Amino acid sequence: MKLHYAVMAPNPDRVRFFLQEKGIWEQTPKSELNIVKHEHRRPEYLAISPLGHVPALELDDGTVLTESRAICTYFEALNPEPNLMGVDGKERAVIEMWDRRVELTYMAQIGGWFRNSHPAMAELEKPQSAEWAEICQGRARKHAAFLDQRLAVSPYVAGVRFTIADITLHVAMGFGRVVKFRPWDEHPNLAAWRERMLARPGLAS
Ligand SMILES: N[C@@H](CCC(=O)N[C@@H](CS)C(=O)NCC(=O)O)C(=O)O
């Protein structure tokens, strides 16, 4: 197998942290792409990942998995411990619910805000829309408050233990740097949770 990834990019980072938490990042065969140099748009990569997205996991039988969560599902099946995605149907569903909430209602909004407002994204996001960036910013701020409330009553995003949902939120928080968004400065529960995440060796950059 081979994992195609990029550095400083949120979705590849979700998979990297997932594999670091499982202790298998170093041993996983990898190929690094430079998004800034548009290496993910080259024909040889589009032949692997037609949407030109990273990460992508190429399996030995020719199957290609894209979507970071699907790649994590595959690695979870190969390396069940430590469990990061749930041990039974109910826990798997609860973790998936929180993971997707973080991804779709928070991380994706940071992405929309960044891609529609930052000059460095002008080439990849055509057309850029300042109005859409504003809408995404408002949604990201609102959802940060929602997540802060969640972490007031739960030690981890999906409940009593560390899971993939914490990895996704950790990545999304870090991704906020591209729009200088630091919600932990105004939300104490997010701040306390973030300190615990930063102390985890598996989440070290
Ligand atoms: N839903 C996909 C999103 C993948 C994605 O958008 N990756 C970004 C990097 S974080 C990318 O490849 N961007 C390149 C581009 O849009 O041209 C996933 O979860 O993996």
CA of 129 to the centre of ligand 1 (A): 19
Q: Is residue 19 part of a domain?
A: yes
CA of 152 to the centre of ligand 1 (A): 31
> What is the domain count for the chain?
2
Query: d(Cα 181, Cα 57) in Å, to the nearest integer?
Result: 31
Q: Domain limits at 51?
A: 2-78
CATH classification at residue 185 = 1.20.1050.10
CATH classification at residue 55 = 3.40.30.10
Whole-structure pTM over 0.95, yes or no? yes
Q: What is the pLDDT along the chain (205 residues), one digit of tens a residue?
A: 999 999 999 999 999 999 999 999 999 999 999 998 999 999 999 999 999 999 999 999 999 999 999 999 999 999 999 999 999 999 999 999 999 999 999 999 999 999 999 998 998 899 999 999 999 999 999 999 999 999 999 999 999 999 999 999 999 999 999 999 999 999 999 999 999 999 999 998 8
Residues 102 and 195 occupy one common structural domain: yes
Residues 53 and 143 occupy one common structural domain: no
- Please write down the HEC assignment for all residues of 76-127: HHHCCCCCCCCCCHHHHHHHHHHHHHHHHHHHHHHHHHHHCCCHHHCCCCCC
CA of 188 to the centre of ligand 1 (A): 30
Domain boundary among 78, 108, 143: 78
Residue nearest to atom 14 of ligand 1 (CA): 53
Q: Which residues line ligand 1 (CB under 6 A)?
A: 9-11, 35, 40, 52-55, 66-68, 124
